[in-house]
Amino acid sequence: MSNLLSFLGVTEEEEEAYRALLRRGSASAASGRQETGAPHGERRGAEAADGPRPGAGAAEAGREVLERLLVLGLATGGAHGVIRAVPPARAVDALVESRLRTLREELETEATRRSVIESLFMECWTAVPPPHDDQAGEGQMIAQLHGIDAVREAIDELTFFARTEDLTTEPTGVLAEESIAVSHPINMRLLRRGVRLRTIMGAAILQDEPTLTYMRELVSHGAEVRVSHQPIERVIIVDRSAALTPIDPAHTARGALLVREPGLVATLVTLFERMWEAAEELPSEEVDLPSDVERDILAMLREADKDETAARQLGMSVRTYRKHLAALMRRLGAANRVEAALLAHEKGWLG
């Protein structure tokens, strides 16, 4: 049989084992033997047709190839050491993704080895600057970058050379489709290189599905994302050696300050850490439904005018009632109680 999956890095032995697993249904990880799930007599007949049971050496080889199938994503492990074949469409898709990741890493490594980006950036650094040029030179401690294009160029440069950490905030909590398209390849490149990526998002992310989906994708690849229910400052810090802050926080499109002065960068890192500690973990995709107590509290938003009245009807202290309510509002991303009631109704948390 020809090795059809060789272009995806699968050996002929691995492909044959995967095909056999598809035919038989499952295999025992302990013995390396593949099973059909048929009655004992039928399995014995199948074994006779396929040949005698393998010896110790063959069984060990069988276990090894099954382990390779697990690593390749062609098989999954189940209870009691049973290994099953991944459906062909999913298996091939996983192989393609793995091959693309490997190829991208090889190309990025070669680009780094050849100093391609550094060589191209030298064309910018050695160019004669025009009058009033506001691009930051290599040794400039603080520089103004005017316009969104100049800021994006600076982000590209800083993140390409990032080695350990990238810290970012997004006060609005919402990213435009264009922003996601621009930042996605940059962030994925950082994560593939093992750079620690931490992001703080404004609470509005909880109501914006595209941004929420994007952030959860980054988390699935190793990023750390938190949500702040308090106002946060906009900042990007790379390797704790360079930072970007807006020239005008109210109009970020005007440009940014590129800061390399160690004392100022250290201050911005401290600010980020304080915002990080005050923020909450990004909720998982499967958010737990409210408890009976929480449902009762949400119902009180429509039935009771005062916290004291609601707490008395529920048989709890006002302090406990308000504590539960504040937690619910954070989960819902609500700015006030009216909005909390509306959002809870939209989620089906209220009858």
Distance CA 177, CA 246 (A): 21
The per-residue DSSP string of 290-347 comes to: PPHHHHHHHHHHHH-SSHHHHHHHHTS-HHHHHHHHHHHHHHHT-SSHHHHHHHHHHT
Whose CA is closest to 210, among 175, 252, 186, 178?
A: 175
Is the per-residue pLDDT at 56 higher than 60? no
What pLDDT does residue 290 have? 74
For 249, the 3-state DSSP assignment is: coil
Q: Once rounded to an integer, what is the mean pLDDT over residues 277-293? A: 78
Q: Which two tokens stand for residue 299?
A: 């119902």
Q: What is the model's pTM?
A: 0.51
Per the CB < 8 A criterion, the answer to whether 258 and 145 are in contact is yes
What pLDDT does residue 237 have? 96
Distance CA 210, CA 28 (A): 42
The per-residue DSSP string of 155-210 comes to: HHHHHHT--SEEEEEETT----HHHHHHHHHHHHHHHHTT-EEEEEEEGGGGG-HH
Q: How confident is the model at residue 304 (pLDDT cuts 50, 70, 90)?
A: confident
Of 80 and 36, the one with more pLDDT: 80
pLDDT above 70 covers what percent of the chain? 81
Half-sphere exposure of 177 (CA within 13 A, CB side): 0
Q: Please give the DSSP secondary-structure letter assigned to residue 257.
A: E
Average pLDDT over all residues of the chain: 80
Of the spans 44-48, 96-100, 309-313, which averages the highest pLDDT?
309-313
